[in-house]
A and B are shown apart, each in its own frame.
Chain A
Amino acid sequence: MYAQLVDTGTKRLKTREEMSPEERDFQDKIDAETKIEAKNWMPDAYRKTLVRQISQHAHSEIVGMLPEGNWLTRAPTLKRKLQLMAKIQDEAGHGLYLYSAMETLGADRDEEVQKLHDGKAKYSSIFNYPTLNWADMGAVGWLVDGAAIVNQVVLQRTSYGPYSRAMVRICKEESFHQRQGFQILLDMMREGTQAQKDMVQDAINRLWWPALMMFGPHDDESPNSQQSMVWKIKRKSNDELRQMFIDQTIPQLEFLGCTAPDPDLKWNEETGHYDFGAIDWKEFYDVLKGDGPCNRERISTRRKAIDEGTWVREAAVAYAAKQKQRAAA
């Protein structure tokens, strides 16, 4: 998903002649689809790019718990509450799988989390939008997790072994998220009152464009993509993934009996894909820069969680030290 605009630190691709023998061996391995593992030699920029991308991905999972946490105490039934808790717990788990993949590259989890809290690290723009009604829980599961799945399925083939294996685990768990979201919306559309049906359409209207932005800028505006593709960190371009998502989502949208807030959306017989309208990139960059509707709230919630949990972590360390002392005595 969840990595948007990951800086690779390279201005242009190196030609084979410009590569050192190590770099050439490395690229040969990538080209032969051999996974790179933690102890293998890798170019510094590859390592840095991965740390940036995986940490950004992990932060997104962690911050992604917050819009849903908003509805935990307000879920309409016990069943829905249990499902939502399971989903949020999964997201915490996904964040941890990813942090642990990131640590194999020599990065420190505390330091990376600190960068998030200082506003120096990015996370997916989507989580800076508010969740205003119960249908948002459905729309987040269906659209946001749906967009994430499109991205993450491809990332299972990413060139770095620990990242790829984390993605395999995540994808296995993620499809439950999307289905439970769709089911929330379907129930509201089939059995709900008019007011509830309106909520569904309202949620889709608000989340549609932000969901499309999750795939990041257009390919020609995405200067880092080329290097990431050559390293096979990325396997498909932003625009390809966005189109895949739209093509698979529209039939589901129609099944719900809802519409997308895009007058230009229509099936193109010639290309075999849906055409869609222009994305408001100013909004995307504003949100990414920290000026979305909820950026400040999200970060302050994360900071508060870390700060208020300090004593728990300290107590755990003190307890462990005491147990060790006792065992030694």
Chain B
Amino acid sequence: MSEWRLYEVFVRSKHGLNHKHVGSVHAADNEMAMENARDLYTRRSEGVSIWVVPSDTITASASDEKEILFDPAEDKVYRHASFYKLPDEVGHM
């Protein structure tokens, strides 16, 4: 179905949780993408909500950009609570 657009499917498994990527479907339009996603990814009540997003509208980071994007965060340990040691007497914070 190359003439049909590819959509990425995201499913919210329970109220209160994020939508999570589960796979993709082909469809002629948005509505059909939703129906196909329902049939394909929620046959056993895996979800309470579905997003379908045309794949060609997603901008993704490339694997060779990994260092440029994520390395700067590596040496910023002071962004984590565990960096700050408190005296025991202070108790839970």
Contact = CB atoms under 8 A, between A and B. Distances in A.
A165 to B, nearest CB: 8
A89 interface: yes
Nearest to A319: B28
A103 to B, nearest CB: 7
Interface stretch (B19-27, B70-78, B79-87): B19-27
B15 interface: no
Interface of A: 37, 39-41, 86, 89-90, 93, 96-97, 100, 103, 108-111, 165-166, 169, 173, 313, 316-317, 319-320, 323-324
B63 A41 contact: yes
A170 to B, nearest CB: 11
Contacts of B40: 93, 96-97
A110 B6 CA distance: 13
B23 A166 contact: yes
A93 B46 CA distance: 14
18 contacts: A37-B63, A39-B62, A39-B63, A40-B63, A90-B43, A93-B40, A96-B25, A96-B40, A100-B24, A109-B2, A111-B2, A166-B23, A169-B23, A173-B44, A317-B4, A319-B28, A319-B29, A320-B29
B60 interface: yes
A100 B23 contact: yes
A323 B31 CA distance: 11
Nearest to A316: B28
Nearest to A97: B23
Given A89-B43, A109-B2, A323 B29 contact: yes
A97 B60 CA distance: 21
Going nearest first, the 6 A-B pairs with the smallest beta carbon separation are: A320-B29, A316-B28, A320-B28, A100-B24, A39-B63, A110-B2
Interface in B1-50: 1-4, 6, 23-26, 28-29, 32, 39-40, 43-44
Contacts of B23: 97, 100, 165-166, 169
Interface residues of B, number: 19
B32 A316 contact: yes
Interface of B: 1-4, 6, 23-26, 28-29, 32, 39-40, 43-44, 60, 62-63
Contact of A110 (B1, B29, B63): B1
Nearest to A176: B44
A169 B25 CA distance: 15
A41 B64 CA distance: 9
B28 A317 contact: yes
Contact of B1 (A89, A93, A313): A313
Given A109-B1, A316-B4, A317-B4, 13 more contacts: A93-B43, A96-B25, A96-B40, A100-B23, A103-B6, A103-B24, A110-B2, A166-B23, A173-B44, A313-B4, A316-B28, A317-B28, A323-B29
Contact of A109 (B26, B32, B60): B26
A50 B10 CA distance: 25
A93 B22 CA distance: 13
Nearest to B9: A100
A100 B25 CA distance: 7
B19 to A, nearest CB: 16
A87 B4 CA distance: 27
Contacts of B1: 109-110, 313
A45 to B, nearest CB: 19
Question: Which of B6, B23, B26 counts the most A-chain CB atoms under 10 A from its CB?
Answer: B23
Given A96-B40, A97-B23, A108 B63 contact: no
Nearest to A323: B29
A76 B13 CA distance: 36
Nearest to B23: A100
A89 B60 CA distance: 32
